Amino acid sequence: MDTPLDTISLMGLRVHAHHGVFDFERENGQTFVIDVVVHLDARPAADADDLASTVHYGELAERVVAAVENDPVDLIETVAERVAGVALTWQAVLRVDVAVHKPDAPIDAVFDDVVVRISRSREAAA
- 102 catalytic? Reply is yes
Q: Which of 102, 116, 121, 123 is catalytic?
A: 102
Q: What's the angle, vertex CA 71, arms to CA 19 and CA 59, rounded to 5?
A: 100
List, in sequence order, every residue forming a beta bridge with 98; answer none if it has no partner. Answer: 36, 118
How far is the C-alpha of 7 from the C-alpha of 1, rounded, in Å?
19
Enumerate the active-site residues: 102
